[in-house]
Structure formats: C-alpha cells, structure tokens
Amino acid sequence: MPLPTLPHAQSVDTAPSTETVPSRRQALKQAAVGAAALSAAPFVLAQKKTGIKWRMQTYAGAALGAHVIKPAIEAFNKAANGEMTIELYYADQLVPTGELVRAMQKGTLDAVQSDDDSMASPADVREFGGYFPFATRYSLDVPVLFNQFGLDKIWEESYAKVDNVTWLSAGAWDPCHFATRTPINKLADLKGKKIYTFPTAGQFLARFGVVPVDLPYEDVIIALKTGELDGVAWSGITEDYTVGWADGTKYFLTNNISGAWIGHFFANTKSWNKVPPHLQALFRLAMDSSHYYRQHWYWGGEAELRVNGPKLQLTSIPDAEWATVEAEAVKFWDEKAKKNPTAAKIVAVFRKYNALMAKAGKPYRYG
C-alpha cells in the first residue's frame, strides 16, 4: 500500500509556513495509521478464518452416520459461521470404537458420539448404556428417563470421576432385534447362534445359548455373508437396511430385548471448557436436533420396513415363551444392582419408571 503523498518540501533556507508543519505532521500520522492497519489486517483476517476446530468420532459407520449425526454437525458448522468447525469421523476411522474414551482423554478426539458399553467406558454406568435388557419399551422412554427421572444427574456424577471426559447429552436410537441367516421361531433356535451384539446385551443373551461375537463394525457385513456370523442383535430393522445387514441376513425377529438404545454425546473436558458459552449453547441445540431426527427416522422406518421391506421375512417367538426372557431380565437387573451404588440407583430408576408406565396403561404400555 503506497504511503500518502507528502506536501512539497520547502527549500532549506526558507522557514516553513505555519500551515506547512501541521500539514506535514498530519500526513505522517495518516501514513503511520495506514501502515499499521495494513500490517494488522492479515492477523485480523486469520483470527476470523481459524476459529475453534474439533475432531469428533461417532460409533456409527458412514451409511448410518449420515442419519444419526451428520445432519446435526453440518447444521452446527453452518450456524457457527466460522467461529467453530467440527470435523466428523465415522466408526474406527481415527481410533477403534473400544478406544474412544482414551482418545478423548488424550485430546486426540475433542468429542464422541457413542454408547457407554461399546466404547468400553471406565465409568460405573457403562453397562446401562446401549441396550440394557428390557429397560425401555419405546424410544421416548430414554429422554423421559434422563430429563424427568434423574438419569442425567447420575451420568453427570459418574463421568465427573473420569479424567478429562464430560458427559453432555443422552438420546434414544432404535430397538434391539435379531436379524439372522436362518429363522428364529422359538427360544431353542437361538442356541449356538454366533451373534454380533453389545457387551451387556451379549451377557444376557448368552443365557439362552447365544454366542456373542465382537468384530470391527465394518467387518460385520462380510462376516454375515461368509457365515462367520449367524446374525446381529445390534439394531432395529431400519439399520439392518441402511447399513447393508439386510443383504447378509434373511429373517427379522419381531421380539426385542430393548425398546431403544441409549447413546450419548461426550467431550474432552479441556476442549469443552475452551468453547465460549454461546457456542456451547449452539452445540446443545445441535445435539437436540440429532436426538429429534432419530426419533422420527427410526420410528417411521421400523414400521415401513416391517411392512414393505423386500429383503427380510418376519418371524416371532410366541408371547408365552418370550415371557420367560422377560422374567430372566428381572434376575439380570437384580444381579447388576448389587455391583455398586450407582448400579443400584439406576436399576431403582428403571423399576420406578416401568412400574409407572405399566399403571398408566395404553399407550404407554400394552399387556
């Protein structure tokens, strides 16, 4: 940027007029201001352009992540208007799902979307994330349990004891059903079946002869097609179609062991504390947007694909026989409640909530 043209200099032996000195001083002052502004401009622009950058990984693969997280993060990035940008990664892209907590603690990740169980959380609420058998009947049970029955406070207290991890929000996903290569029409059909499922759900299903199998998420479809797996108990029918598992299985069991998956958003505590209040509020809105999207996407998809889905044939275990599975869940709850005070509090909440729903009757509970 050229400096402003100075007034014509006076000859050496001629004293400057009273007008010339102020004019010259003013010109030099303007030049200095202009130069300072020029040198500062790139810094100001860089400040605006850089903003806060986060790396976030979800438990979900790309096909599923396109629904359960991507729309909310894209909306957040747009609304943040350059002040903050979240880079989204899918299952196992940066770290294996079982290492999400450690990666978050180290700062490799700034945020995570997952359930406690599959990411091997060190928190004492771990077994109650994901699919805790028969804890929920419908997806709306999850936000009510957290926002009106105190699970939010229990989760906050639990993660306050985990170094550098902040629990942010819980929401519901889909119910837990079996999709299998051979039909399941009675409990005996489950015996010996190699099933991809969540750790705690696997513990429960093992009581009925299921063989829980742990695999990297992206390997599941191949394992189904090769016969290494006999099926999955990881989702509802919407995910079976969305992620391709309906192409590796033939049957869908209408009985489920949980009405909704409990999943969460977490953040590296140091990263979260660096985010100004207005962007924290914006991120909370984005999380709520993600929760809302899933409520209608799963609910509609479960019905539509049961009725009109061309790939999976529906099977059912009779109610009288399935009641034995529900009865076994009560024993399972009792065993888990004895593990520690936090587990006892959570099981007490589940009991209180489900007793209320049963008394409320239809449409809250049928049968």
Q: How far apart are CA 178 and CA 189, in angstroms?
A: 12
Q: Do 169 and 181 belong to one domain?
A: no
Which of 211, 235, 251 is the last residue in one of the domains?
A: 251
Ordered DSSP codes for 97-126 = GGGHHHHHHHTS-SEEEE-TTTTT--STTG
Give the pLDDT band (50/70/90) at residue 30: low
Domain count, the chain: 2
Q: How far apart are CA 341 and CA 246, in angstroms?
A: 41
How many alpha carbons fall within 13 Å on the CB side of residue 252? Answer: 26
Question: To the nearest 10°, the Cα dihedral for 287, 98, 220, 191?
Answer: -110
Summarised one tens digit per residue, pLDDT across range 206-234 is 999 999 999 999 899 999 999 999 999 99
From the list 167, 164, 50, the residue with the least C-alpha distance to 107 is 164
Q: Do 127 and 207 belong to one domain?
A: no
Q: Are 236 and 176 in contact (CB under 8 A)?
A: yes
Average pLDDT estimate for 43-59: 73
Give the pLDDT band (50/70/90) at residue 366: confident
Summarised one tens digit per residue, pLDDT across range 75-103 is 999 999 999 999 999 999 999 999 999 99
Which of the pair, 367 or 3, is modelled with greater confidence?
Answer: 367
Is a pLDDT exceeding 50 seen at residue 6? no
CA 174 to chain centre: 13
Is a pLDDT exceeding 80 seen at residue 305? yes
Task: Kindly report the CATH number assigned to the domain that includes residue 247.
Answer: 3.40.190.10
Residue at 159: amino acid letter:
Y
Average pLDDT estimate for 40-67: 77
Q: Do 163 and 189 belong to one domain?
A: no
Q: Do 120 and 266 belong to one domain?
A: yes
Q: Do 246 and 132 belong to one domain?
A: no
pTM as predicted: 0.85
What pLDDT is attached to residue 56? 98
> Which residue segment(s) compose the domain that 245 sits in?
177-251
